[in-house]
Structure 1
Amino acid sequence: MPANLPPQFFALSAKLKEVKTPEEKISILEEMLAICPKHKGTEKVQKDLKSKIAKLKKQKPKKIKRETLYSIPKEGAGQIVIIGPANSGKSSLLNALTNAKAKTAIYPFTTQIPQPAMMAYENILIQLVDTPSLTKDSPPWLKGILKEADGILAIFDLTKEDLIENVENLKEILNNWGVNNKKIILLGNKIDLKKSQENLKKVGGKYKIKAVSCTAGIGLENLKKEIFNLLEIIRIYSKSPKQALPDFEHPFILKKNSRLSELAIELHQDFISSFKYAKLFTKGSKKPKIVGKDYLLQDQDIIEIHI
């Protein structure tokens, strides 16, 4: 039986000759094994790949953990890190949501370092960070970035037959790294291509996967709203008694369930001690409501503090 290996397999094979470290070689060999068709004609190929991986793991020196090799300063209303297997569409997702120009290619491991970019959602900016393909041998600094993130976008290729296995592998890695408690959105990319709907149905109710297409733009606007909701933040507009309207372009960003006292401290440390009352303006209301510093703020409240 012929092997019928896919073009990506040979692209990886060529890339394998260029890398030097055992970690890089293991990552590429594992990806070659993952995309290798599973049938009798490829049994020898699979066996050879597994043998090479085993030998390299024995040679691999003990690593000094360097989780802070790359540190991405947070910008905007929150930081979301994009992760996923090779060629799942991480860089394409970043480009589609932010208009960035992250490098993309049909071969895996195009992204070698974290790449941040800003996504506009209504009147705020949210930072997205593209990362290298996630494997068990990913560099320690990726673990460090995930620990600091406010949330995770995990993206998978819906055309892959081993979709469930890919999701479970990713969850296992996050669990081993101690970041399995992070808020996460599971994305299935390439919903516009054949087999995607069929593979998504196989997942059934086991995992909640949001279907999108980075190239066709399907589901991306709704995804922006889900990212905003994942952050669990609210936008608050503050105005002085002399202002007719607040600055709607630059809201204060607070966590959900924040009280008015927290906004007062954000505005000025002295406001909380000299606070008298505040006027609350909401959409549709003709007259403001008088509220105290224990008032539970809601998204897009307009607050006028009196001292």
Structure 2
Amino acid sequence: MPANLTPIYYKAEENFKKAVTVSEKIAALEEMLAVIPKHKGTEKMQADLKKRLSRLREEGQKKSKKGRIDPFWVEKQGAGQVVLFGFPNTGKSSLLATVTRARPKIAEYPFTTTLPMTGMMAYQDILFQMVDTPPITEELVPDGLSGTLRNADALLILVDAGSDNCLEQLLTCYDYLKEKKIMADEVSPGTRAISADRCMVLATKAEVDNSAEHIQIMNELGPPDLEIIPVSATTGLGLEIMREKIFELLKIIRVYTKTPGKAPDMKTPFILKKGSNVLDLAENIHRDLPQLMKNVRVWGSARYEGQSVNRDYQLSDRDIVEINQ
């Protein structure tokens, strides 16, 4: 039976052939496995891809067991991991220092940041993890950076709005993310990539006189699928809008819980994916709770306050949930 492979599959196969690092090869194989047509004619190919993927993952694990720590690996914390990506001197470190308690080294000369650096940014009652990364240029991309970008929950491309080559910065970053399949229009299950709707452009140094003109040029000639937000770490322009947009990019909701007869706990919300239901919340609270819960009441999105709902009831941001056992 013919395999009838698609152009998308052949493109993924080509990316695998061009891959250099183990993480890039794993990402390419994951994409090949996700997009290969699923029928009897490709069963052997699917099995071969799974074997190759398993071997590469084992290779990566063996390297880690030997004590080789990946300096570009950043463990996730908070409500979501947001990675900053861009050219030298676009203000990544300045932004990190402004919106978090991190104290990165900031200088006028390029390549001050050589490894990822993190800080926690507050948004209302939750915290986002911000990750500053080493810069890229048209000629140089640091080894290991692609793994940091793939691991992110959202990506912020930073461009210097005061620079005459801001459009070139944006297009170079965008082309790199597309070429390496780090950013995709649609992300198939099992593929380590970020959808375009989880990416955003920050036009930094928006307080500079000629920045408005440059931002207009980027809006007209830049990628149409990326929103551009003017910001300034110096004046604070756009930083609150940036926080709100990041919350939207992450596609999460905050759910608060309460004990029967007591006030809800509004200080420590559970963070769930948008579209989650009562059962998802119960599993987050305790693995045995789904089997133990008998009655659930919801305040917020329900038709009336304290309404009893089923376990498949879809929750909304800022809902309050009471689970009775």
Which position in structure 1 is the counterpart of 2:51? Answer: none
**What's the offset of the Cα at 1:214?**
1.1
Which position in structure 2 is the counterpart of 1:276? Answer: 294
CA contact (8 A) 1:66 1:140 kept: no
Which position in structure 1 is the counterpart of 2:99? Answer: 97
Counterparts of 2:168 and 2:258, CA distance in 1: 52
Q: Mean Cα displacement is larger for which, 179-188 or 250-259?
A: 179-188
Q: Match of 1:205, SS?
A: helix
1:229 aligns with 2:248: yes
Match of 1:193 among 201, 205, 208: 208
Which position in structure 2 is the counterpart of 1:246? Answer: 264
- The aligned amino acid for 1:228 is F
Counterparts of 2:302 and 2:124, CA distance in 1: 20
Q: Say if 1:65 and 1:289 are closer, same or farther in 2 by CA, change over 3 A.
A: same
Q: Report Cα offsets for 1:174-193 as digits up to 9, x if no partner.
A: 12222022221101111111
CA contact (8 A) 2:219 2:228 kept: no
Counterparts of 1:268 and 1:188, CA distance in 2: 42
Counterparts of 1:215 and 1:108, CA distance in 2: 19
Which position in structure 2 is the counterpart of 1:296? Answer: 314
**What's the offset of the Cα at 1:169?**
0.7
Question: After the TM superposition, which parts of structure 1 deviate over 3 Å for at least 4 consecutive aligned residues?
Answer: 66-69, 204-208, 283-287
Greater gyration radius: 1
**What's the offset of the Cα at 1:206?**
3.6
Equivalences, count: 244
Q: Say if 1:168 and 1:64 are closer, same or farther in 2 by CA, change over 3 A.
A: closer
**What's the offset of the Cα at 1:216?**
1.0
Q: Mean Cα displacement is larger for which, 132-141 or 110-119?
A: 132-141
Counterparts of 1:185 and 1:83, CA distance in 2: 10
Question: Percentage identity across aligned positions?
Answer: 37
CA contact (8 A) 2:296 2:321 kept: yes
**What's the offset of the Cα at 1:245?**
1.5
Match of 2:85 among 65, 77, 83: 83
TM-score, scaled relative to structure 2: 0.71
Counterparts of 1:66 and 1:167, CA distance in 2: 27
Which position in structure 2 is the counterpart of 1:7? Answer: none
1:65 aligns with 2:21: yes
Counterparts of 2:285 and 2:210, CA distance in 1: 53
Match of 2:173 among 154, 170, 173: 170
Counterparts of 1:166 and 1:71, CA distance in 2: 25
Coordinate RMSD, CA, aligned: 2.0
Q: Match of 1:105, SS?
A: coil
Counterparts of 1:219 and 1:159, CA distance in 2: 16
CA contact (8 A) 1:94 1:130 kept: yes
- The aligned amino acid for 2:233 is C
1:106 aligns with 2:108: yes
**What's the offset of the Cα at 1:285?**
8.8
Q: Match of 1:253, SS?
A: strand
CA contact (8 A) 2:301 2:316 kept: no
**What's the offset of the Cα at 1:166?**
1.4
Q: Match of 1:174, SS?
A: helix
TM-score, scaled relative to structure 1: 0.75
Counterparts of 2:246 and 2:266, CA distance in 1: 21
CA contact (8 A) 1:66 1:141 kept: no
Which position in structure 2 is the counterpart of 1:34? Answer: none
**What's the offset of the Cα at 1:265?**
1.4
Q: Match of 2:104, SS?
A: coil
5+ residue gaps in structure 1? 1-62
**What's the offset of the Cα at 1:66?**
6.6
Match of 2:152 among 149, 152, 158: 149
Counterparts of 1:177 and 1:224, CA distance in 2: 27
CA contact (8 A) 1:239 1:245 kept: yes
Counterparts of 1:118 and 1:204, CA distance in 2: 30
